[in-house]
Each structure stands twice: as C-alpha cells, then as structure tokens.
A = this chain, B = another copy of it.
Amino acid sequence: MGIDVGIYGATGYTGLELVRLLDGHPDARIRFVTSESSAGQSLRQSWPQAPDLPLVAAADAPLDQVQCVFLCLPHTLSAPIAAQALAQGVRVIDLSADLRLDDPAVYTEWYHVAHPAPDLLPVPYGLPELGRAALPGARVIASPGCYATAVLLATAPLVRCGLLVPGAPLIVDAKSGVSGAGRTPKQNMLFAEVHGNFSPYNIGRAHRHLAEIEQELDRAGQPYGTLIFSPHLLPTDRGILATVYAQVRAMDAVRAAFEDAYAGEPLVSVLPAGELATLGHVVRTPRAAISLTPASDDLLIVVSVLDNLLKGAASQAVQNFNLMWQMPETTGL
C-alpha cells in the first residue's frame, strides 16, 4: 500500500518534521511540498538535513496527484485549502487550529475572525488516545496542537472518571520550547532574547488553546472547575512540560484511572510512582509521558511531557494519517 501525499507549509518547524517522518514512512510517497516564501527553491535550502524536494506555491500544488494532504498552515489559511482538497476527493489532515472547534462562533470568539469554512465543521479531533473511534476512514481530521495534547492527556482521565473536586480550579502551569512559536522572525524569539531568559505569556484565561481543551474535556459530561492555563517560554528549542494541579476526591483511584486510560497505548506512558516526567523522557520521540504525584490528601500533581513538534504536531498527524488509512497506528514513527 502506498498513499500519495502532499504537504502544505513544509518549511516551518512542524512541516520539516512532517517531511522527515513521511519521507521515511513505508506507505507514504511525498508528491509535493509547498511554501509561499520559498517556492522555486529546494527544501534543502530551508533545512540542510531535509530531502532535496522542490517547493511549489500552494496555488501550484498538483492536488490531482495525491490522495491525502497535510496542512501546516496558519489558521484562516488552512481551512480554505482543506475545503478545496476535500472537494477534489483528497483527504485532509489539518494541523492548524481551523478545524478543531466544532462551533464556528467559538472560533470567532477566540481567533477574532469569521471562520473561513464553517461548512466543514465539525471534524473528528485527532487525539487518538482519547478517542480514536471516529478516525479510521475519516475524510478529514483536525490534528490537535502541542499544548492541547499535553493538557488533555494529563486531565481527561480525571474528568472522565469524575475524580475532580467540583468547583475547585484546575490549574495548568505549562512550559514550552521556542519552536512552538514558529519560524517567522520575531524579535522576542531571537536567540539573544531567549537565552538566559524565561517568561510567562498569556497566562490565566487568555490563551487560545483553552477553547479546544475545554471543548474536549466537556465531552466527558462531567463537571470540572475553572481551567487556568499559564504558558511559559523555555530557553530550549523543543518540548512541552505541563504541571497540573488538581484537587481530587479520591486520591486512591487516581493511578488506576490513568493506567486504565492508557493501558496498551504504545505512545503514552504512565511513569511508575516516584519517577517524575521530564523533557528528557520524550524530546525527539513520538511519545508522551505522564507522572502522578500526590502532594497532599487531595492535591494531585500531574506532569505531562511531549515533544511539541512530534506528539504535539507532526508525529500525531502521522498517527492520525495511519488511522485514517487503517494502517497500524505507529507505522513510520
């Protein structure tokens, strides 16, 4: 079996990882890679370890030569390409935020713009460990982002099992490497700004990814308190670590809830008691790891880690691709 694929937005950090993975995937053949700013160049000019693939502008991509496309595009630019591809019978793995929210009004609330393709919604949310039923055979999958994946893996088992103290805030202190901010030059992402620094940003209830996290937690139909989400920028290139503080009703039931949730999962590990999750567990792998630390009778600390470019983006997209095409889920990972 071999699926012909195209990758939109191949020169960003996520795009580069996705090319690397798909280039080595036994059942995928890369037919095109796009870039607006570097069209006409080779992908190797963007990244010396990349395969020597010619970059084309999105408008020139030969959609008729592929069966599936991956979209690593900014939000608002991604959904229109998804619509175009689907209209031509090409399946879509969208790594942008455009298709993650079921309700276009919620999209507008958080992204301050009308949804570019509301007719496509809703779309299956591609976090396989929390719900892979809708993914096999799907024509389009919204692949979630790095913060959402890290936080949902750390909190969904608690919500689903009704373990949270009603009304108590659910606090997530998250730290991310800088590649999450993308490859477009910005002064605050310069090496000389980040080196030796550490900064919170959009803390509290301000970060856009709250919307998709809450949407997915709400599916459990179980109450949870106000979700507080405080991201910080780490002086490293990749990796996310989320430290979650949760007031729980039955500390004794916590470990089983997580172990049941992820039993048999090849890409999510619940670490043994006493071992704390660190970026070193997961960086440059497609895996997530979770540690559980009871801090008091009712205060649980969950640490959740993953590589923001892999389980938080590119490898999760490949995982969704494998499920979509009904291949073994970890093929090529």
Contacts and interface: CB of A to CB of B under 8 A. Distances in A.
A283 B326 CA distance: 34
Contacts of A200: 241, 243, 276-278, 303
A13 B226 CA distance: 42
Q: Which bucket holds chain A's interface residue count? A: 35 or more
A306 to B, nearest CB: 12
Contacts of A277: 200
A239 B278 contact: no
A303 to B, nearest CB: 6
Given A48-B281, A185-B187, A280-B197, A192 B204 contact: no
A190 interface: yes
A84 to B, nearest CB: 28
A100 interface: no
A90 to B, nearest CB: 30
B237 A199 contact: no
Contacts of A208: none
Most chain B C-beta atoms within 10 Å of own C-beta, residue among A47, A194, A281, A295: A295
Nearest to A234: B198
B49 A281 contact: yes
Nearest to A44: B275
Interface in A167-210: 168-169, 171, 173, 175, 177-179, 183-187, 189-201, 203-205
A187 B186 CA distance: 8
Given A203-B276, A243-B230, A196 B285 contact: no
A296 B49 contact: no
A301 interface: yes
CB-based closest 9 A-B pairs: A204-B295, A185-B185, A199-B278, A173-B173, A191-B194, A48-B281, A179-B192, A192-B237, A191-B191
Interface of A: 13, 47-49, 168-169, 171, 173, 175, 177-179, 183-187, 189-201, 203-205, 226, 228, 230, 232, 234-239, 241, 243, 245, 247, 276-285, 289, 293-296, 299, 301, 303
